[in-house]
Structure 1
Amino acid sequence: MLSFVDEELVLDRGNVNVEARGNLMTFGFTPESFDAGPVEQALVAVGERLGARFADVAGPVTFYAWYDEQAGQLRCSAASAEPNDLPFRGRFRPVDSPSPVLALMAADALPGVVPWTDLREVAAEEDAGPDEQVEHTFPVFAVKLTR
C-alpha cells in the first residue's frame, strides 16, 4: 500500500474520472487474518507522504480510500477534487480517519459476496422522484493534499 506514494499519478483537471480510474489501486484481504491496525497506519502514512509531495501543487488534490463491499476490496485513488466532491456515483461521507472504512472491512465475513436478501430494486435515475431517499452512505477516508 505504501507503494502508492511512489506511483506516477494521473492529474487531468478536465476529467476527474480519468484521474480516479488511472490512480486506482485495489487490495483484497482475507477476513480471518485481517488486522486493521497496520492498514490504518499505512493509509495515514500514504496521506502524509502524498501531502508533502503535493504541498506546492495549485488547486485541490485529494487522496482517498474506501471499502468496496461488492468487490470485497480496499480501494485507493487520488483526484483533483475537494474531499466533498470526489467522483462517486453513490452517496458517501468523507472521514478524517481510516477507522470507519476499516470497520466495514473487519465486519465483512464474506468479502465480495452480497446476499440476495441485501439487494433491492432501484428505480432508474429518470424514474426516481425528488423525494426518494438514498438509504446508504459509505465512509471514504479523504486527505486533502493541497492547500
Structure 2
Amino acid sequence: MQLFIGGACAGKRDAVTQRFDAPHWHSAHAGCRLEAWRSLTETRCLVLEGWERWIGQRLADEPNDDRLRQAMARELDALRAWEAEQGGQAVLILLEMGRGIVPLGRENRRLRDLNGWLAQDAAARCERVWYVWNGLVKSLTL
C-alpha cells in the first residue's frame, strides 16, 4: 500500500495520477461506500479517497472512538490482504486536517482525531508514505 497525505487541494490526486497507470478511483466524493471496494475484481491499482467522509458517515452510528478506529483499521488490513491475494496495489489518499487547530464542536473534534489516528494506522501499514503540499511531493518513508 502507498499513502498520499496532505492538505485540501494540495495536489494529492495529481501526484497519484502521475505515478500510477490506469488507477481505479473509489471515492467517497463520488458517493462510493467504503466497503464497496471489496466487490471490485478487475483492477490492478485501487485508489481510495474521501476517508474523512467515510469516518464522518460512521460518527453517529458508533459513539465509541476506539471501536470506530478499529473498524477503519480492519479496512486497512483487508486492503493489505487484497494486495497479497490479487497482486494489486492499493493507494490511499488522506486529508491532513487541522494542523494543530482544535475545533470547538465535539463531532468536529472527533472527526479530526479519528482522521489523525487513521493516518497513523495507515502510515504504519504502508510501504511508502508521501506528503503532498502545494504540488510538491516528498517521500516520508525511510
TM-score normalised by the shorter chain: which range applies? 0.3 to 0.5
Whichever of the two has the greater Rg, that structure is: 1
| Higher normalized contact order (CA 8 Å, seq sep 6+, divided by chain length) | 2
TM-score normalized by structure 1?
A: 0.33
